[in-house]
Amino acid sequence: MTKSPPPNSPYAGRWVARVRQKIIAHGGTPEQARHAVKKSRHKEKPEIIYMPLPLSLPPLLSDVVDALPADQPLYLIGGAVRDMLLGRVSHDLDFGLPTLNKPVEALKVARQIANKIGAAYYPLDGERGAARLVLIHEDGARDVLDFAAFRGENLEEDLRGRDFTLNAIALDARSQKLHDPLGGAADLRSKELRTCSPTSLSDDPVRVLRAVRLAANFGFKILPETRTAMKEAVAGLSETSVERQRDEFFKILEGEQPATALRALEMLGVLPEFLSELAVLKGIKQSAPHVNDVWAHTLSTMRHLESMLAALSPEYDSSKAAEFHNGLLVLKLGRYREQFAKHFAENLTTDRSLYALLFLAALYHDVAKPVTSKTDDDGRIRFLGHEVEGGKVVAERARKLHLSNDEIDRLKRIVRGHLRIHDMARRMLEQREHAEGQERSGNPSRRAIYRFFRDTREAGVDIILLSLADLRATYEHSLPEDLWKAELDVARLLLENYWERPTETVKPPSYLDGHEVMEAFELRPSPIVGKLLEAIREGQAIGEVAKKSDALAFGKKWLKENK
């Protein structure tokens, strides 16, 4: 049995050529180790062995191996291996199978494994021998396992045809030995992003988006030659499918440092090819209190949003709240950590998260400022109605990205509503000044709270978070303390009503339905019925309707005043 080298050994996870216990050459594969021996012209025949590397293997891997036919080789390839080497847990596992040029054999193996581990089976591409297994656990968590026949004659050809060296590392599922012909593990250690071949990006321009995501998520340096290849490949992005562009872009939004990634996309010239309406934001000036142009403000909003969400996450880290403004944020809204987590867990589609959707809204919240810009006689720049026009722009982009109707509606509501919290906070400050700063004076009324959630629905929570990030980005370090406190007070009051007493001011229970209203007031089906029901609901929210008889009396009075 080969003794494991220390984890920091240069040979850990490598294949070495050894003569009389002395290592004379090494490589990422057995063949590379043998080739290195030939180059060294060593006369004795070496022993080629694998030097084990301690890895935290996915728990599901042993179940997959147990379900394999006895003579079937199987390799875990790509992101899951990369994540293991980085000490991260992955629930998306990609497997490659040698099938002797019979891709259909890969489908048979995948189906057999699905049956044995209790996973759902989905054929993806019969010609390429690609299938997906989805295993949903009792707690709702899920593992996604993709199986595909080798793209090439053997494992090394398959790996050389992939995107980046850090994704071109394979783990033999049975022996748990690594195969790394392109030195991906070394690139991981040096934090360098390198393509597998000179044509990796031009062959598939969507990989440009992936490169930016990987660099942002893992803090990798994009090598100069890789950066040059990325810029050259951008022009071909429009020839790839919208769905693939969308899926890779949403991974950027769901990942770490999305603002940094967007800045990189802008510098690489991706935005004009992919999200053209964003490319014109750079250089659009704004009057005080703004301290940045529209594009820089947009990226700053995303950075502040990421920082705030980290401070409000269930995994509380006091260092995230060390900065003054985040400290106040946690003081005012920290009680709702679990509610925020549940909110973002309720996705509108299984493919994309609400978290990513909120960042897309943040990216587009000021997208219509260039077309609404007007300069007053005193030189002040205004963008009247930019939130309404922006809602239209983001909805159109969402349709082009083939998002669902629910996602389009959510995005539109967030962008249209992102100024409402600012307006409430300003009114609160003005009224507090007249009331000599009394803490609760100027609070939004029950009617204002009801109308806010009536118009924004579930997007209200997203709007609150975006508005806070927007305010931070507007002032940056010059944000007045009283304004920040006022905005947080509004946010807390709204969330308190939404999560702690929703039946009072957010969604009051109905005392009358449409049929009862028509019968009680001798009305025919018409828009007036809906308006009357809405007026009664608002009456409940403001405390004027507490029972059915109140609803009837309120309705009678309302009809008299509005006929």
152 within 8 A of 158, measured Cβ to Cβ:
yes
Number of domains in the chain: 5
Check if the beta carbon of residue 91 is closer than 8 Å to that of residue 144: yes
For residue 285, the SS3 value is coil
Mean pLDDT of 403-411: 97
Query: pLDDT at residue 460 above 90?
Result: yes
Provide the CB-side half-sphere exposure for 58 (13 A, CA).
25
pLDDT for 56 beyond 50: yes
Non-local CB neighbours of 249 within 8 Å, separated by 6+ positions: 209, 274, 401
Is the pLDDT score of 172 beyond 80? yes
Residue % of the chain over a pLDDT of 90: 66
The verdict on residue 418 lying in a domain is: yes
Which helix (H) or strand (E) element contains residue 275? Answer: none
Mean pLDDT of 266-293: 94
C-alpha to C-alpha distance for 433 and 411, rounded to whole angstroms: 35
Higher pLDDT, 28 or 520: 520
Q: Are residues 174 and 305 in the same domain?
A: no
The per-residue pLDDT for 101 is: 67
Mean pLDDT for the stretch of residues 51-72:
85
Residue that finishes a domain, picked among 15, 36, 53: 53
Q: What is the pLDDT of residue 170?
A: 94
What string of DSSP letters covers 379-446? Answer: S-EE-TTHHHHHHHHHHHHHHHTT--HHHHHHHHHHHHTTTHHHHHHHHHHHHHHHTTT-TTTTPPPH
Give the pLDDT of residue 1.
43
Instruction: Report the C-alpha gap between 28 and 10 in whole angstroms.
Output: 11
Judged by DSSP in three states, 16 sits in strand
Q: Are residues 42 and 120 in the same domain?
A: no
User: 68-82, 295-309, 357-371, 489-503: lowest mean pLDDT where?
Assistant: 68-82
Residue 206 resides in a domain: yes
Name the band, by pLDDT with cuts 50, 70 and 90, for residue 41.
low
Residues 242 and 373 in one domain: no
Could you tell me the CA-to-CA distances from 242 to 57, 325, 374 in Å, in that order?
34, 39, 35
Contact between 277 and 367 (Cβ < 8 Å): yes
pTM (whole model) above 0.75? yes
For the residues of 88-129, what is the DSSP string, one character each?
Answer: ---SEEEEEE--TT-THHHHHHHHHHHHHHT-EEEEEETTTT
Give the three-state DSSP class for 44. coil
Give Cα 206 distance to the centre of its chain.
17
pLDDT, residue 9, reads: 64
The answer to the question of residue 280 being in a domain is no
Mean pLDDT throughout 312-334?
86
Last residue of a domain, one of 190, 223, 238: 190
Phi then psi dihedrals of residue 288, to 5 deg:
-60, 145
Displacement of CA 118 from its chain's centroid (Å): 29
pLDDT at 440: 58
Average pLDDT taken over every residue of the chain: 90
Higher pLDDT, 56 or 274: 274
Q: What's the pLDDT score for residue 343? A: 96
* β-bridge partners, 371: none
Bridge partners for 178 per DSSP: 171
Q: Are residues 361 and 495 in the same domain?
A: yes
pLDDT at 442 over 90: no
Q: Are residues 330 and 468 in the same domain?
A: yes
Dist CA 11 CA 9 (whole Å): 5
- Give the residue among 188, 199, 204 at the shortest CA–CA distance from 28: 188
Residues 94, 150 within the same domain: yes
Query: Does 281 fall in a domain?
Result: no
Residue 134 within a domain? yes
Domain hosting residue 394, numbered range? 286-505
- Within 8 A by CB and 6+ apart from 481, the residues are none
Question: What is the rounded average pLDDT of the residues 45-70?
Answer: 83
CATH at 136: 3.30.460.10
Query: Residue 73: is its pLDDT beyond 50?
Result: yes
User: pLDDT class for 441, splitting at 50, 70, 90?
Assistant: low
d(CA 293, CA 281): 8
Q: Do 388 and 369 form a contact (C-beta atoms < 8 A)? A: no
**Cα 372 to Cα 390: distance, rounded to the nearest angstrom:** 10
Q: Does 370 share its domain with 472? A: yes
Decide if 453 is inside a domain: yes
Q: Is the pLDDT of residue 329 over 90?
A: yes
Alpha-carbon distance of 86 to 220, in angstroms, equals 12
pLDDT for 117 equals: 92
User: Quick check: 372 and 385 in contact, CB under 8 A?
Assistant: yes
Q: What is the pLDDT of residues 187-221, one digit of tens each?
A: 988 899 999 999 999 999 999 999 999 999 999 99
Under the banding of pLDDT at 50, 70 and 90, the label for residue 319 is confident
User: Residue 341's pLDDT is what?
Assistant: 94
Cβ atoms of 282 and 370 within 8 Å: the answer is: no
Greatest Cα pair distance in the chain: 106
CA distances from residue 469 to 67, 264, 464 in whole angstroms, order as listed: 49, 21, 9
- The four Cα atoms 17, 23, 24, 27 give a dihedral, to 10 degrees, of 50
Closest CA to 223 of 232, 211, 236, 235: 211
pLDDT over threshold 60, residue 357: yes
In a domain, 371, yes or no: yes
Q: What is the mean pLDDT of residues 542-556?
A: 91
CA 38 to chain centre: 48
Q: What is the pLDDT of residue 444?
A: 92
316 and 340, same domain (yes or no): yes
Average pLDDT over residues 458-476: 98
d(C-alpha 474, C-alpha 468), whole Å: 10
Under the banding of pLDDT at 50, 70 and 90, the label for residue 42 is low
Most confident of 193-202, 461-470, 509-518: 461-470
Among 33-42, 111-120, 259-268, 393-402, the minimum mean pLDDT is found in 33-42
> pLDDT at position 8, please?
55
User: Does residue 247 sit in the same domain as residue 362?
Assistant: no
Share of the chain above pLDDT 70, in %: 95
Q: Residues 302, 446: one domain?
A: yes
Contacts with 315 (C-beta within 8 Å, 6 or more apart), sequence order: none
Task: Determine how β-strand 381-382 pairs with β-strand 120-125.
Answer: unpaired
End residue of a domain, out of 53, 71, 96: 53
- For residue 64, give the nearest of 168, 179, 172, 180 by alpha carbon: 172
Do 23 and 168 have their domain in common? no
Task: Name which of 21-35, 77-91, 198-212 the model is least confident about.
Answer: 21-35
Distance CA 540, CA 551 (A): 8
Tokens representing 345 are 């867990």
Question: Do 376 and 292 share a domain, yes or no?
Answer: yes
Per the domain annotation, does 523 fall within a domain?
A: yes
Q: How far apart are the first and last CA of the chain?
A: 91
Residue 3 predicted with pLDDT over 60:
no
* Range in 8-12, 209-213, 292-296, 489-493 the model is least confident about: 8-12
